[in-house]
Amino acid sequence: MNRILVTGGAGFIGSNFVRYLLNNDSGCCIVNLDSLTYAGNPLSLSDCEQEGRYSFVHGDILDRALLERLFDEFAFTGVIHFAAESHVDRSILGPEAFIDTNIKGTFNLVDVACNHWKKNPEFCRFHHISTDEVYGSLGETGAFSETTPYDPSSPYSASKASSDHLVKAYNRTYGLPSVITNCSNNYGPYQFPEKLIPLMILNIMEKKALPVYGRGENIRDWLYVEDHCSAIWKVFCDGKDGETYNVGGGAERKNIEIVHFLCDLVDQKLGHTGGSSSRELIEYVQDRPGHDFRYAIDASKLKNDLGWEPAFTFEEALEETVDWYLANMEWVNNVRSGAYRDWIDTNYAKR
């Protein structure tokens, strides 16, 4: 039985991953360690709480003593590390939390995991989840490969770059069995409504302004979260120690194309009629400082070495995502409400 520590499993990608793993591999049990920041919601895994192979620990990766206790108690055979501060705009307004969690937190985790691995040969893998934003910005052509030099633009991507280097250093210096995946922008269910796609879906539903940075010409390479989960599990199981794998969905779109698509789709689903279109809600606002122009992933290493390819097409999976938000407004309202934060504090005592 694989005993896996998932960090940040109450967040967007982590919660999708925990569900994916419970549904796709019966040989795993999971401990989800999450400090439940604004972006972490136990509700995102309420359907998994009764599953005997899953347990939740409310705690912080900055708490080294807690990490040591958990490794002793559960004798983990692997770690999949999602926990992070993840939003670029927040990193511009307040970088310190990004330094704390993404750099110091990752250092704690990789160091405790390394000490554990030295005493427990059963420990087989530290998998660090990272971003393509570490590579900086592309012009009109080209794509990031695993050998593209790091050139981060935001405090967020700089902190992720730093954490990648730490994980790599632990592999080279101490031999810790580790892998890193750097993926492009994810979308899908349970994403906190501050990132482009869920923010736009909800603002269209609620007839609020749709803030598009600059001229909306920036390009992202979109990856459906379920495709990301299958890639992570493939790399965790079959990837080579010390290697990095880029994960991408092969779906480059300009931001404005996505906003137009969502306006038309949500209007159609909600039966918004009368000649007006939600496109009229678009407001071109001041650009993000240091805004990377374009991201694109060359995922050929993952395809050639491990046989992984995305299974979902962008427009279909985006429509599924829209349907999910339309059907899950209770989740949305809870994660946005202050009262809900009080409920978490009462019901999920911190370890």
Is 156 a residue of the active site? Answer: yes
CB 326 within 8 A of CB 205: yes
Nearest distance, CB of residue 5 and ligand NAD, angstroms: 11
- Residue 266 site contact among ligand TYD, ligand NAD, none (CB < 5 to 8 Å, cut-off depends on kind): none
From the candidates 34, 60, 85, 132, which is the catalytic residue?
A: 132
Within positions 70 to 129, which residues make up the interface with ligand TYD, using CB under 6 A? 88
**Residue 196 binds which one of ligand NAD, ligand TYD, none, with CB within 5 to 8 A depending on kind?**
ligand TYD
Work out which of 16, 37, 218, 278 binds ligand TYD, going by CB under 6 A: 218
Look at strands 244-247 and 210-213 and give their pairing.
unpaired
Give which of ligand TYD, ligand NAD, none residue 183 binds (C-beta under 5 to 8 Å, depending on kind).
Answer: ligand NAD
* 3-class SS string, 121-167: CCCCEEEEEEEHHHHCCECCCCCECCCCCCCCCCHHHHHHHHHHHHH
For position 281 contacting ligand TYD by CB under 6 A, the verdict is no
Distance in angstroms between the alpha carbons of the first and the last residue of the chain: 25
Minimum distance, C-beta of residue 27 to ligand NAD, in the bound complex (Å): 24
Query: Cα separation of 217 and 241, whole Å?
Result: 38
Pairing of strands 54-58, 178-183: unpaired
Name the residue number minimizing CB distance to ligand NAD: 11
Residue 79 contacts which entry, ligand NAD, ligand TYD, none (Cβ below 5-8 A, type-dependent):
none
**Exposed/middle/buried for 95, CB within 10 Å: 0-12, 13-18, 19+?**
middle
212's contact among ligand NAD, ligand TYD, none, with CB below 5 to 8 A by partner kind, is ligand TYD
Nearer to ligand NAD, 261 or 272 (CB): 261
Q: How far apart are CA 114 and CA 282, in angstroms?
A: 49
Q: Smallest distance from the beta carbon of 259 to ligand TYD, in angstroms?
A: 8
Task: Measure CA 29 to chain center.
Answer: 21
Chain contacts with ligand NAD (rule: CB under 6 A): 7-8, 10-14, 34-37, 39-40, 60-62, 82-86, 101, 105, 129, 131, 160, 183, 185-186, 192
The number of CA neighbours under 13 Å toward the Cβ of 305 is 17
Cβ atoms of 146 and 196 within 8 Å: the answer is no
Cα–Cα distances (Å) from 297 to 96, 146, 255, in that order, read 29, 9, 17
Q: Is 321 in the site for ligand TYD (CB under 6 A)?
A: no
Query: Which spans of this chain sit near ligand TYD (rule: CB under 6 A)?
Result: 88, 185, 195-196, 199, 211-213, 218, 220, 255, 288
Q: Catalytic site residues? A: 132-133, 156
